Amino acid sequence: MAGRMYSAAQLVQRLAGKVAVITGGASGIGEATAKEFIRNGAKVIITDVQDDLGRAVAADLGPDAAYTRCDVTDEAQIAAAVDLAVARHGRLDIMHNNAGFAGSCVDPLASLDLADFDRVMAVNARAVVAGVKHAARVMVPRRTGSILCTASVAGVIGSGMPHAYSVSKAAAIGVVRSAAGELARHGVRVNAFSPHGIATPLAMRGFGDVYPSASPQEVKRIIERDINELEGTTLEAEDIARAAVYLASDEAKYVTGHNLVVDGGFTVGKRLSVASA
């Protein structure tokens, strides 16, 4: 009997009937989240600038998924993605501001390339503000909704990654804290989650800049083993997707203004040294 009850519980769709927009949904955490949202009963608009990948992901997920191009540095394109969800499905329940950019600057602060800094901030911080703004535009009148923002442990501990990336992810957490109080009075929740390193395409490029002499296999080892605090397991994009499902679902109905750190203890262990590549 217990086994049958457990199996039935696994079939519960925690996002049944909800409508979501995911920026940066063609690969990595965004792709994993799109799959998990669909699995849990949501209808998803995937946005990205990787058109072929985005269309392929949407086709693979079936009729409850659609792809539209969205360069998140252009506010009008974010607004259009939100409007597409409302036009197609009548509402927007979940906005996942996930698109990210690692940048290329790994120099000391005194040599910081501010043009690169501006590019990183445009994607990782300004676009998050725009995503929150336009999601709130359609959620507030309905007095319900969940806005999610992908941050990073780099925005929590503030070291170990290029300055632009760390500052931008701290800003994303700040956006959540700034917006949550105002939007709570309208029934809209705003939360972030901060993953540790996952060998997504974005992370592989970012860590590859930090360790330029390392091969792709060595970079993957650094991400998955050398900076991993939790023995016996490896963080995967699917783990973050499941965290996103929780924050987006009614199970988290009283959770807002929170930064859910998914790091296997990294930010409390602070082991910053890694094996040489």
Q: For residues 12 and 109, give the distance between their C-alpha atoms in angstroms, rounded to a whole number.
A: 49
Q: Which of 6, 67, 165, 246 is catalytic?
A: 165
What does the buried/exposed string (b/e) look like for 243-270 if buried means 16 or more CB atoms within 10 Å of the residue's CB? Answer: bbbebbbeebeeebbbbbbbbbebeeee
Q: Is 165 a catalytic residue?
A: yes
Name the 3-class secondary structure at 248.
helix
259-262 and 65-69: which strand pairing? unpaired
Q: Say if CB 94 and CB 149 are below 8 A apart.
A: no
Closest CA to 72 of 54, 50, 46, 99: 99
Query: 112, 164 in Cβ contact below 8 A?
Result: yes
Q: Which amino acid is at 232?
A: G
Q: Write out the catalytic residue numbers.
A: 165
